[in-house]
Amino acid sequence: MLINCTVYQQDQGTKLRDIAISEIDTYTAQPDYLTWVALKDPSPEELQQMQEEFDLPALAVEDAHHGHQRPKLEEYGDTLFAVMHLLEPEDDGYRVGEVNVFVGRNYVLSVRSRNSQAFLGVRARCEREPAMLKRGAGFVFYALMDAVVDRYFPLIDQLESDLETVEERIFTKGAQARDNMEQLYSIKRRIMTLKHAVAPLMEAVGRLHGGRVSPICASSQDYFRDVHDHLIRINSALDTLRDTVSTAIQVSLSLVTIDESEVNKRLAAWAGIFAAATALAGIWGMNFKHMPELEWVWSYPAALGLIATISGVLYYRFKKAGWL
C-alpha cells in the first residue's frame, strides 16, 4: 500500500509536490530533485513497479518481498539497501516487523512490513529542517534509522522496570518461585529479541561513518556516528540486563534450594522426635513374658513421662539449632 510519494527540491530542501508513481522516473532522472516514497505491506506487483521505476537491485527487492531478514546494510553499485527491525510489545514478547530502505543518490524508498508504527513524524521532521534536507537522501536515510533506534529506548526502560519488579518479588515471603522464573525467562526472551535487532544493525551503521563511506552518506557521517553511539548504549544496556537476569535466575534457584533444605531439616527434626518416642513405645510393646515393667503400678505414667521428657529435650535442641 502506498503511503506517500513526494518530490523535494533538493538544493532548497523544500517540498515540491506529491506525485503519482508513474511520474517517479521523470524526477529520478534529474539530480536536483529528491524523491521519497513510503510503502506499507506492499504487494509483489507494487514492489515490481518500484523496481522498474527506481531500477532497484533484484536481490534486494527479493529480500524486501520475503521479509524476515537479519538487520543489515548492503551496497549495490550506487544503491544502498538496509534492513531494520521494528519491535512492538505483544503479550509476553515482541512482534517483529521490518523496514527495508532503498537509498539512491536522489531517492529514498522505505518499505514497512508487519508493523503499525508509522514514520509520518520522520517526514514532518525532515520538512521542518530544510537545511538538513539539502543534504539529500543520506539525511533522510539517517532520519529513518534514527527513528527506528529511538523506539528501542522505551523497550529498554520497560525491561528494566519489569526486571526490578521480579527482583523485589524474589525476596518476598510466600512468592511463587515458578511465577518468578517464568517472568525472568520472559524478560530474557525479550532481551534476546531486542539484541538480535540491535547487534547486527550496530555493526552495519559502523560502516556509515569514518573510513570508506558510501558517497550517498558522506555528508551525514556525523549523524550516523550519533546513531552508532545510541546503538552502543542500547547494546551495553542489553548485556547488563542479560547478566542481571542470569544472576536473578541463579538467586531464585538458590532460594528454592534453601527453602527445600529448611523443609527437609524440619522434617528430619520431627522424624527424630517421633523416632525416640516410637523406639520407647516399641520396647514396651514387645510381648515377652518376663518384663518386670509391665507389672509396675506406675509403669504407664512413667513411660509417658519419659517419652515426653525425651521428646521435649529433642525439640529444645532442634529449636536451638534452627531446625524448627
Q: Domain end: 91, 120, 135, which one?
A: 135
Q: Which domain CATH number covers 111?
A: 3.30.460.20
* Domain endpoint, select from 135, 159, 187: 135
Binned average pLDDT, 10 residues per bin, the chain of 324 residues: 87 86 86 90 91 91 89 91 93 90 93 86 87 89 94 94 88 74 91 95 88 82 93 95 90 76 75 78 69 71 79 78 73
Q: Is 5 helix (H, G, I), strand (E, B) or coil?
A: strand
Does 185 fall in a domain? no
Instruction: Tell whether 171 is covered by a domain.
Output: no
Is 49 inside a domain boundary?
A: yes
Is the alpha carbon torsion for 164, 169, 170, 176 positive or negative? Answer: negative
- Domains of the chain: total: 2
* Residue (of 118, 2, 111) closest to 67 by Cα position: 111
Out of 111, 135, 159, a domain closes at 135
Residue 99 lies in a domain: yes
pLDDT at 268: 77
Name the pTM for this structure.
0.80
Is residue 291 in some structural domain?
yes
H-type alpha helices, the chain: 24-28, 44-54, 58-66, 120-128, 130-133, 137-150, 152-170, 177-205, 221-284, 299-320
List the beta bridge partners of residue 74. 81
In a domain, 231, yes or no: no
Helix axes 177-205, 152-170, angle to 10 degrees: 150
Q: What is the pLDDT of residue 290?
A: 63
In a domain? residue 249? no
DSSP string, 161-194: HHHHHHHHHHTSTT--HHHHHHHHHHHHHHHHHH
Asked whether residue 289 is domain-assigned, the answer is yes
What's the CATH number where 281 sits?
A: 1.20.58.340
**Residue owning grid cell 522434617:** 267
Give the pLDDT score at 227. Answer: 94
Q: Domain of residue 302: give its range.
A: 260-320
